[in-house]
Chains A and B, each alone.
Chain A
Amino acid sequence: KNEVEQSPQNLTAQEGEFITINCSYSVGISALHWLQQHPGGGIVSLFMLSSGKKKHGRLIATINIQEKHSSLHITASHPRDSAVYICAAGTGNQFYFGTGTSLTVIP
């Protein structure tokens, strides 16, 4: 069993839809990262969370430490949001990665 599980693995949405990607983890953590990887490979860190909720533009990330669960929400999705979203949970020393959620937003 992976230390970090993501769902769904693949997601196709129509432009404008509200999207949720889930991440559950089984390890003790001090932080959880949501990463975005576009085709071509570059990885961008979207959020770092240790509690509560963060919002950047149309992206919202939440974490429930007691339930060991985090969600990434995208409001008013756009084709440029098409990417792989990766959850990484751990401490400053070591992070465990989910296998990623491949999101395709269709115009």
Chain B
Amino acid sequence: DSGVTQTPKHLITATGQRVTLRCSPRSGDLSVYWYQQSLDQGLQFLIQYYNGEERAKGNILERFSAQQFPDLHSELNLSSLELGDSALYFCASGGGGDAGELFFGEGSRLTVL
């Protein structure tokens, strides 16, 4: 058990809809990272938050947004969903700063029909 909790584990929805994925980091970790893993693209870094502030942005679409709350949990919002958004979405947490360890949640599997 990594200590990182992601909900929901599975989600099926339709094109055009909006979903929210939730991540609770390991106790004491200030950084939360979101990743997307689709079959054809491997793991892609989406965005990082550190202690409530956006720290880095990767290949995150404009239809996606995230935030980190004062209790350090994070939510990833995906809107106007398309078939291609079907993927595993992983959250990882770490102590932040450089050279930090990463602890991954079990992922949320999103299927867009």
Query: Which of A42, A48, A94 contacts B48 (CB under 8 A)?
Result: A94
- Chain B residues lying within 8 Å of A100, measured Cβ to Cβ, are 42-43
Q: Find out whether the CB atom of B99 lies under 8 angstroms from the CB atom of A88.
A: no
Q: Find out whether the CB atom of B56 lies under 8 angstroms from the CB atom of A93.
A: yes
- Chain B residues lying within 8 Å of A95, measured Cβ to Cβ, are 33, 45, 102
Q: Find out whether the CB atom of B48 lies under 8 angstroms from the CB atom of A93.
A: yes
CB proximity to B under 8 Å, residues A33-58: 33, 35, 41-45, 48, 50
How many B residues face the partner with a CB closer than 8 A? 29
State the main secondary structure of chain B at its contact with A: strand
User: Which single residue of chain A is at the shortest CB-CB distance from B44?
Assistant: A97
- Chain B residues lying within 8 Å of A96, measured Cβ to Cβ, are 45
Q: Is A92 part of the contact surface with B, judged by Cβ < 8 Å?
A: yes
Q: Find out whether the CB atom of B103 lies under 8 angstroms from the CB atom of A45.
A: yes
CB proximity to B under 8 Å, residues A68-107: 86, 88, 91-100
- Chain A residues lying within 8 Å of B94, measured Cβ to Cβ, are 92
Query: How long is the Cα–Cα vector from A48 to B101 in the complex, in angstroms?
Result: 6
CB proximity to A under 8 Å, residues B47-90: 48, 55-56, 58, 88, 90
**In whole Å, how far is A67's beta carbon from the nearest beta carbon of chain B?**
19
User: Which single residue of chain A is at the shortest CB-CB distance from B43?
Assistant: A97
Q: Find out whether the CB atom of B98 lies under 8 angstroms from the CB atom of A30.
A: yes
Q: Which 3 interchain pairs have the tightest Cβ spacing?
A: A93-B56, A30-B98, A43-B104
